[in-house]
Every structure is written in C-alpha cells, then in structure tokens.
Structure 1
C-alpha cells in the first residue's frame, strides 16, 4: 500500500494529537482515487521536480511520489513537517522527498528549480500563496492546485465576468489559468462547508519588468478597491487626481469611464507605463 486511506489518516492524526484547524486551512484528502486523479490531471512526469504546499499528513505527497516525481513539500505546521518524512519512508522507502518547515508566504525561493506546483492549498491563503510562489520561483512552468470553488473561478475568470477581480488580473500576469475539474466535499476530513475545484496554470512570457509588475498591481488594487467607480475616479488617489487619471488612461488607450472589471492585465500595464 503506497497511499493513505481514511483509517491511516485518523491513526496519524491521533498519534500526533492533531485536530485540523480552520486557522491553517487544514482539510485532509482521505481518498486515494482523488489523489491519483489530481496527479494524473497535473500530468506529472517521471523525475519531475514538484513543489507541494501544505502537504499535511501526506496524502498528495505520496501520490506524487508514486508517480515517480521528486517532491519538495513546504509545511507551516512543525509537527506535520517532522512527521512527513517518517510517513513517506514507511510507505514508500527511499522516495525522493525534501521537506521545508516554513510559511510558504515567507519563503524566498525553493532549492532545485522545481518546474511544477501541485497542491491542496489552504483555503484561507490560497491566492497570496500562489502569487508569491509564482514571483519567487520563476522555474515553475505549470501548476495544478485544489482551491475553494469561488476562488478557483476567480483565478480563471476573463474580463467582464461577474467574478473577475484583482486575483484574476494578477494571476494573468504570470500565464493562463483554467478550471481543470471538481472535487467532492466528501473526500476530505474534516468535510469542508464549501465546494472545491482544480485549477490549472501554464506560465507564459512575463509582460513586463518587476518594477512594472509592482506598479501594475498597485493600479489593480486601486481599481478593484472601488470596483463600482469609473477608473478615472477609482485611480484618482493613485494617479494624482481625477483629471490626471483621465489623462493617463487616455494616453494608454483606455476609456476613463470604464471600470476595472473590463480591463485585461495588459490594459493595466499600459496605464502603468503611460
């Protein structure tokens, strides 16, 4: 047996005196078929270096290792970080695993240039973790993450969509996103009160420099901080007043009476450059 089932998950949790917490977004996958579905959908190849965030008790970690990937797992809970190598060694002796005991929002890189991110992300920090890792681990060419359905649809949304927002624009800076599947609530312990989806990512060529990214993201935050307002009003504070904002928007070829939800990341970048 190379994967964890419900009984093994409960036994591990009892041994660690672990009660999953909402604070850390801990909902553990207890179904091996779901784990294999995630790995299969991620198209993990033999020998590929995969980074996983929030491995928890190791359900997905073991699935990735079963597919002959090399895994670097980042875990904020020290008890889980210390236990994971023992679990893997007991179930898949010699499997190539590295564990980083840290907050994924604070890491400044991942050794070994991983090319894929595959994770059941903690729901409470899923978007910040994604954006941070895409920024600090430029070797990541693809990702498949399980997130709250509402968050997943925001990440994959196109301009003009009802759920298009700041996360949609910022995520698009790094590449393309799409919904890759749905996950039943019943495969988790504890069972969450929200639905989950798989979101796929493919990195594209970055549209601008790091300085331009920061400037663009600042405009995105301003636009969606007052998303019901026209851009000339929403960006007034950031650009020195309504008149200055209108002039900047017109110089970038953007209608000052438009709203942030109508603009692509390229549109915001043009405003930052104008």
Structure 2
C-alpha cells in the first residue's frame, strides 16, 4: 500500500505553487509531456560497474547499519530565473516537504537526511541547465557545500522532459564538484509535474546517488541486488502481476523506487537495496 502522507502540502489533483507557497490549480500537462519525462541518470558504464561490483563483493558485508544512524548533511540549492514562485523560487515549505518525503522513503535504511541549509540563486542560465553542460558545472562549482558525505540537491527547470539526474558514488573522487542530484522543481510535493509530483522522483535520484541502479535494465542485465526481479523496461504502468522477464524469478518490481512507475505507485526499497546503499556509502562516502 502506498504510504499515507502527513505532509501539509500533499493534496489531491494537479497543483502549482502560488504566491507565498500556497497551492493553486493549474492546467494539466499534455500527455506527451508526461510520456517524455524520464530519469536523466544513465546506466553505469559496464566496465566501471564491474570494478565496483568486484570491490563490493570483496567486502562480504550482508547486514546494514541500523535505520536512521547515518546522518546525511543535505544542502538544497534553489535555482531560479526570478524571485517569484512562477520563476522557480520554490518556497521553504515545499523544500521541507521534500526532505520529509526523503526521510519517509529511506526510513527502513541507515540514511537520514539532515537539512542543513537552503541557498537561493537567481541565474537564468543555471535555471535551465542540462546534464553535462557548462551551466551545470558553473552552478555546482559556485554552490556546492560540504564533503563527499553531503548531499547537494539542486532545484531547477531543465526542460527536455527530464525529471532529474544524479551522480553515482564511485564517481565522486574523480569529480567532487559534480557530485549531487539535480531535480525538476515541479516534481516536488504539490508541484505541477503530475503524475510525478509527490517527491518520489527525488527519492529515485538519491537512490542513484547512494549507488542503486535502475530495476528496469532488461532481462539480461542485473542491477546488483538479488531481491529485485529483473524487468525489460516496459513496466511504466502500475500493473499488478506484470512479468516482463518470465525466465527470471519474481514479478516486475513495479512498486520499487528505482523503477519507472508514477509516484503514486512507488513506495519501497528492498532489504537488498538497503544493504547495497549502506555498503556503497561505507566504500565511497
């Protein structure tokens, strides 16, 4: 069952942020806009991932630390083209709601996200930055806070159907400035990116930041976690009993945060994913 929400900003219907952080009805996006929405984090390079998996296997750690014992300093960077909510000035209340969604989703894992600070930067170029762009590099160089243990979450309006993207933990050492997560601001709780507006897209991208792969990589590709059945990537619908890889034991993990279903359908990490994230943190963060 989908977790019940206690967030003040979780409401039914399609909403936008009004002045002062209030929520107002807006026109529903066209179906094509929803169909184009996607995770901008590419699957890990096969050779690099093989080295990571070898190192991970050598640890031989099968249990994870207790829930909530790993405090993650979290810095939220609001990028905007102006100073109103319609130009990306996400209200503090919405930022707090997103942090609450993260901590609810990760409550069965060792990770708890401590919101340290929020920065606000008016820069029209950074506001629409894309993955790997000079704008992304400039924004992160100027704004990134903390060390490798810290999550830097950038809220922007990248366009192109992107909901967000993240860096993997093993890439942090080679490019520490780039480390972090970038999110489409309207995916935050109460935003306009329906059906991706309950904050779970951020949960998904932070999962990549902690070392998880997609669960929808194909029947011949394993995500490195034994208790997530394989899927061939067509499980976008929340369809009970879906089994796109019948030769692999188990049904498609349609409720998993690392899949491609709507926010209303996602509500779980498996125990194996919890162990993997913890081991990744111990190795790289």
Q: Which has the larger radius of gyration?
A: 1
Q: TM-score, normalised by structure 1?
A: 0.32
Structure having greater relative contact order (Cα 8 Å, sep ≥ 6):
2
Instruction: Say which structure is richer in helix.
Output: 1
- Give the structure-2-normalised TM-score: 0.31
